[in-house]
Amino acid sequence: MRKEKDSLGEIEVESDKLWGASTQRNLQNFTIGKEKIPMDIIYSFSIVKKAAAIANCKLNLLSKEKKDLIVSACDEILDKKYDDHFPLLIWQTGSGTPTHMNVNEVISNIAALKSKKPLGSKNPLHPNDDVNMAQSTNDTFPSAIHIAAYKRVKNTLLPALDDLKKGFDDKVFEFKDIIKVGRTHTMDAVPMTLGQEFSAFSAFIAEAIVNIKFSLQKFLKIPLGATAVGTGVNTHKDYQKIAIEEISKITNEKFSVSDNLFQALSSSEALCHMSSSLKNLSVSLFKIANDITLLASGPRCAIGEITLPPNEPGSSIMPGKINPAQCESVKLVAMQVMANDNMISMANASGNFQLNVLRTVKIYNLLQSIELISDVSKTFLDHCLKGIKPNLQRIKQNLDQNLMLATPLMKTIGYDKASKIVFEAHSKNKTLKEAALELNMMDEKTFDEIVNPKKMLGPYG
């Protein structure tokens, strides 16, 4: 063990750990749950620290030697060499101050190691005076959040959704000529193709991608340089511009300063916007999974118009049973994302005056939502969607029995007479043709010409 010291006094830290007194106090005082601060946040903090050091050096506020030490330490953190030295949970000070200090302390001690100085000596880098120069948790944490969320959505979520949409598009083409029963209110309706049904699923994903891309742009605005309450106190007048330019260079993205720094510290509108887009996508995913589950239901005693690839035995007691497991996992993810959105909304509404102090749970839930949707999109595509097959025999059987095929008769004999045919066929278990002929509504040739499912797939004329 070694002794570290801060404004509250001395505290013991394990001798091989690179964090300092602030981190150790948080570890001891907040032993709540197991949900750690995501490493994406730590890596994004390192980007912020690196950019800040370069900016301060360019402004002659930080020596080149100290700048180089900070940059080197940040690069090594980004290379995942020190993941074990960021142990804090999300259940901490909601502004993220302990995590921010965790990053400052680790960078300071990496520099101490390289300079062959004792850990905790704050030599040659002081965690506050040097690593944290011109910075506050209140502007660096929301900036790191935006960087982390932007990278995760762009690099993971959007590619997964693009692949999922293509998977649905492939099924639209594959199923384009398969005519089946349409359903409204879960009841039989006029015919459509299986391809048309799957085109709705593709459109849900396409619209979600558009919405997510729009929300994504909001993360490119960051409040770095706002410091404590948005005024930029303790920063050089050119620091903000230079630091954000450096972040853009490091990430190869076009970051810029938030439109209003006071708003950016007191709220997290970009997180709420993205979370809302993910929630809306989850509503669509739940609907898609539910429809596919019902279309595959049976296999003999329900709709059974499609078959799903078996992933696992479905029952511990019923031999041979196969369940729509992938669809159920999609629904589970969708519900979790909806719940996360509610949590994010409540946390964002709880900011008081110049600072929102519930940020740790907001970014944790948002990154979880991004990860869950990314993962479930891939697994559903690979282990369900690609393997969906039409049950042509069942589709034809259901279509032939569909009483709503009488709908085009309205144009010839009117709604009332067409209804009479339907009720006659249903009550006496006859076909529509049998009922129409027995009621002397029309001859067989006329019926066959009008009641043709292929002519019912779009407008006439």
Active site (annotated) includes residue 236: no
Query: How far does CA 323 lie from the centroid of its chain?
Result: 26
Residue showing tokens 């004329």: 461
Residue 405: count of CB within 10 angstroms of its CB: 24
Report whether 337 contacts 372 (CB < 8 A). yes
How far apart CA 403 and CA 95 sit, in angstroms, is 62
Q: Residue 138, by phi and psi: left (phi above 0), alpha (psi -120 to 50) or beta? A: alpha
Burial class (CB in 10 A: 0-12, 13-18, 19+), 300: exposed
At residue 439, what is the residue type? L
Query: Helices 97-114 & 39-58, crossing angle to 10 degrees?
Result: 60
Residue 316 burial by Cβ neighbours in a 10 Å radius (0-12, 13-18, 19+): exposed
| Active-site choice (7, 15, 185, 427) | 185
CB 434 within 8 A of CB 422: no
Look at the alpha carbons of 107, 229, 58, 148 in this order and tell me if their dihedral is positive or negative: positive
Choice among 63, 256, 315, 419 that is catalytic:
315
Distance CA 235, CA 205 (A): 44
426 as an active site residue: the answer is no
Contacts of 226 (CB under 8 A, 6+ apart): 136, 138, 139, 232, 258, 261, 262, 264, 265
Decide: 294 and 306 in contact? Cβ < 8 Å.
no
List residues with catalytic annotation. Answer: 185, 315
